[in-house]
Amino acid sequence: MPAETDSRSPVRQIPTAYRYAVGDILVTAANDGHRVNAVQEGFVRNASLAEVVTALDAGGLPGGRLPITFTPIVIETGSRRILVDTGFGDSGPATAGFLRSNLAAAGITPETIDMVFVTHCHGDHINGLIDAEGRPLYPAAEVVLAEPERAFWTDRTEAARASGGVADNFANVARVFGPLQDRLRTVQWNAEIAPGVRAIDARGHTPGHTALILESAGEKLVFIADVTNHPALFARHPHWSVAFDMDARQSVATRRRILGMIADEGLRMAGYHYPFPATGRLARDGEGFRFLPAQFAMLA
């Protein structure tokens, strides 16, 4: 991964988290950190580097440099406190791994999380489940994911024929989930994982990639996970496929379906790789969608 070119020392922000209500459900968005990609040919499989740089410029991101942020959420339903994805923990770039300190600043300690829901098994979403010694970082939590995602990443035939980054990811999934076997549980798509929280089919980015619909007291929010990576590229251009989308065709279909539902039904949304606090709405704009970020408010 290309290093930052700034010579000055990085400025550490004040630890923070952003809370918002969806009906009676409380959501806490807590940033794990970021990484800056100097975008290269092939980052978007079906667009040229020049087209991608133009799209970044249009999104206010000059110089072909794409900041990718990582924002897990905590969902509190009254009966459950669910962390959705975990960031990198100790196994990631120096610019990430801040989730637990940011949650602590919001008064949320790891012992009080009773479920970690995993949207999919990429390192930026699962590495924070365990520490470097393999100890669970959320000691009271069951770990829940969609059955198709578990099935794929534990399939020995698929593992044997994988190469490159996918082969590395199979090894990483075995490393992370090995110590967690006795607390893993799977659900089917459309299951309610907690009151008002439903897991939905968002396959394409990975074979079992899962989004969540939160619904309470007439309000509705879709946590899209990685249905798109950065919105300046993949909400604006939903037919573009980021190199991390394992099934490009399926991920485009999923993106059009889920972003279309959000825009057409006027729903609120949150995205793991959206600019912090990573929540807002989407509007249709030409062939794609425009992200309309939520405005900060002191009281949720």
Residue 220 phi/psi, 5-degree rounding, is: -145, 135
Helix (H) or strand (E) holding 167: helix 164-177
- Give whichever of 124 and 215 is closer to Zn ion, judged by the CB atom: 124
User: From CA 55, how far away is CA 65, in angstroms rounded?
Assistant: 11
Measured from the CB of residue 124, what is the shortest distance to Zn ion in angstroms? 5
Sign of the dihedral defined by the CA atoms of residues 242, 248, 249, 253, in that order? negative
Site string (120-149) toward Zn ion, x via CB under 5 A:
----x-------------------------
Residue ranges in 27-66 that form contacts with Zn ion under rule CB under 5 A = none
Measured from the CB of residue 272, what is the shortest distance to Zn ion in angstroms? 6
Residue ranges in 95-124 that form contacts with Zn ion under rule CB under 5 A = 124
Measured from the CB of residue 68, what is the shortest distance to Zn ion in angstroms? 8
- Give whichever of 77 and 251 is closer to Zn ion, judged by the CB atom: 251
Residue whose C-beta lies closest to Zn ion: 226
8 A C-beta contact, residue 113 and residue 26: no
* Burial annotation 207-235 (CB, 10 A radius, 16+ → b, else e): bbbbbbbbbbeeebbbbbbbbbbbbbbbb
215 touches Zn ion by CB under 5 A = no
Sign of the dihedral defined by the CA atoms of residues 272, 274, 278, 279, in that order? negative
Q: What CA dihedral angle connects 268, 274, 277 and 283, to 10 degrees?
A: -30
Measured from the CB of residue 229, what is the shortest distance to Zn ion in angstroms? 7
Of the CA atoms within 13 Å of residue 88, those in its CB half-sphere come to 17
Residue 280, phi-psi category: left (phi > 0), alpha (psi -120 to 50), beta (remainder): left
- Give whichever of 25 and 146 is closer to Zn ion, judged by the CB atom: 146
Measured from the CB of residue 102, what is the shortest distance to Zn ion in angstroms? 18
* Among the residue ranges 108-116, 127-135, 190-198, 226-234, the one whose residues contact Zn ion (CB under 5 A): 226-234
The three-state secondary structure class of 180 is helix
Residue ranges in 187-206 that form contacts with Zn ion under rule CB under 5 A = none
- Give whichever of 69 and 216 is closer to Zn ion, judged by the CB atom: 69
- Give whichever of 25 and 199 is closer to Zn ion, judged by the CB atom: 199
Size of interface with Zn ion, in residues (CB under 5 A): 2
85 touches Zn ion by CB under 5 A = no
User: From CA 41, how far away is CA 49, in angstroms rounded?
Assistant: 5
User: From CA 71, how far away is CA 254, in angstroms rounded?
Assistant: 21
- Give whichever of 215 and 226 is closer to Zn ion, judged by the CB atom: 226
Measured from the CB of residue 85, what is the shortest distance to Zn ion in angstroms? 8
Q: What is the largest CA-CA distance in the chain?
A: 51
Measured from the CB of residue 110, what is the shortest distance to Zn ion in angstroms? 21
Applying CB under 5 A, among 76, 149, 215, 226 the residue interacting with Zn ion is 226
Measured from the CB of residue 108, what is the shortest distance to Zn ion in angstroms? 22
- Give whichever of 124 and 149 is closer to Zn ion, judged by the CB atom: 124
Give me the residues that bind Zn ion (CB under 5 A), please: 124, 226
